[in-house]
């Protein structure tokens, strides 16, 4: 039986042909496909300014620069995310200030943010974990109350919505990722959605070495930018993906519903919140009952692998990494994030999956957990 991966991109022949056309054109880096991709993204997001980038991480880095984050500033965020969310704050010279997650949504607990605010707090980076949007009403209420900027780390939530409005079509700065494991991919890539057009010139300078070119062939540099531009090869993939967004999202929601229907929660799995309105179901994550199991999470994952099923781990609690322990963070500070991070497994979920694949995963999960609870080798 072939290995069932936890994710796999769906690329049609038209997209493959489009990439071939780019390769044959000789224009491989940023060019007409990038411009077309940005126009399509803007059209989907209520015509807000959008600039493509080579990763979602780059989008977060530039967003922090655009709002003027400086050494000594503090940025509030969640400890339960891909480590890039906090790393970009450190790279900006600022301090990441973690707030524990809500145990039900697994997103940052917005009711605890006020307790973390100090005179040095400048912004909040809120993460839509697994594609489930943070409550945007509550997020912007607290941000507005304390006059903080918001960077929405929507790396996982392209195609999700909040109360019927597409994530990215409103709000402050919104960072998306189009990595190969995301719902829509460019292979590697991302974009930053800007709150207004006044930030476009600086954003464009920051993504490509600060360069501004003049009509006479000259150039000027007045800020130190990076090398964050998207290639036309990647943009061609993105242009082929965007028309399938609704289809992909619907399929993911259907598969998630099948998981809920077939998983036996009485065994002790901690299920995600069953949101079929807002979430794009980027990932379907369970939390294992580690305290009752006779084997480790690693052994559990290995046993599923023996049955040709690949599981992911998304994510360990950031503050427990060595880099962040050196900053003074330690175990016990954010108990919900620590428990969820230690026990989470990510199940296979991608549009090309069959319903029968879900049944296969659920059977394997049930058998393996029953053995793990009994201590069967």
Give the Cα separation of 206 and 49 in Å (integer): 15
- In whole angstroms, what is the distance from residue 333 CA to residue 31 CA? 47
What is the rounded CA–CA span in Å between residue 212 and residue 205? 7
H or E stretch including 122?
strand 121-127
> Using an 8 Å Cβ cutoff, are 37 and 53 in contact?
no
β-pair type (121-127, 74-77): parallel
Phi and psi at 49, nearest 5°, equal -65, 130
Distance, CA of 244 to CA of 223 (rounded, Å): 38
114's enclosing H/E stretch is: helix 113-116
Q: Is there a cis peptide before residue 315, judged by omega within 30 degrees of 0? A: yes
Q: Which of 182, 205, 227, 374 is catalytic?
A: 182
Helix (H, G, I), strand (E, B) or coil at 221: strand
Contacts of 279 (CB under 8 A, 6+ apart): 130, 131, 132, 133, 157, 160, 253, 256
Rounded-to-integer distance, Cα 62 and Cα 49, Å: 14
Is 182 catalytic? The answer is yes
Q: How far is 57 from 272, CA to CA, in rounded Å?
A: 25
Instruction: Report the C-alpha gap between 188 and 273 in whole angstroms.
Output: 29
Question: Could you list the active site residues?
Answer: 182
């Amino acid at each position: 039986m072939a290995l069932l991966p936890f994710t796999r991109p769906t690329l049609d022949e038209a997209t493959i042909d489009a990439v071939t056309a780019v390769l044959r054109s000789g224009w491989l880096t940023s060019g007409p496909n990038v411009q077309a991709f940005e126009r399509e993204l803007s059209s989907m997001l209520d015509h807000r300014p959008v600039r493509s980038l080579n990763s979602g991480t780059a989008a977060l880095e530039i967003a922090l620069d655009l709002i003027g984050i400086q050494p000594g500033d503090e940025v509030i965020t969640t400890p339960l995310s891909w480590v890039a969310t906090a790393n970009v704050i450190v790279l900006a010279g600022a301090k990441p200030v973690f707030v524990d997650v809500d145990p039900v949504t697994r997103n940052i607990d917005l009711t605890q943010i006020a307790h973390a605010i100090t005179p040095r707090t400048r912004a909040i980076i809120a993460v839509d974990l697994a594609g489930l949007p943070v409550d945007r009403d509550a997020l912007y209420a607290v941000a507005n109350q304390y006059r903080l900027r918001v960077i929405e780390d929507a790396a996982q939530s392209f195609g999700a919505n909040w109360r019927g409005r597409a994530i990215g079509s409103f709000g402050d700065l919104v960072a998306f990722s189009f990595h190969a494991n995301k719902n829509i991919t460019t292979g590697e890539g991302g974009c930053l959605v800007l709150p207004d057009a006044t930030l476009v010139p600086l954003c464009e300078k920051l993504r490509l070495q600060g360069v501004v070119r003049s009509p006479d062939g000259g150039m000027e540099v007045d800020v130190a930018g990076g090398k964050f531009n998207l290639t036309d090869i990647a943009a061609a993939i993105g242009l082929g993906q965007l028309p399938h967004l609704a289809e992909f999202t619907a399929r993911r929601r259907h598969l998630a519903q099948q998981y809920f229907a077939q998983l036996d929660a009485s065994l002790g799995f901690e299920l995600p919140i069953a949101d079929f309105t807002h979430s794009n179901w980027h990932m379907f994550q369970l939390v294992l009952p580690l305290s009752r199991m006779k084997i480790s999470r690693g052994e559990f994952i290995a046993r599923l692998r023996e049955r040709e099923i690949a599981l992911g781990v998304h994510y360990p609690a950031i503050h427990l990494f060595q880099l962040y322990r050196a900053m003074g963070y330690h175990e016990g500070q954010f108990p919900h994030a620590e428990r969820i991070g230690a026990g989470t497994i990510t199940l296979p979920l991608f549009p090309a999956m069959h319903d029968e694949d879900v049944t296969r995963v659920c059977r394997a999960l049930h058998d393996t957990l029953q053995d793990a609870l009994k201590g069967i080798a």
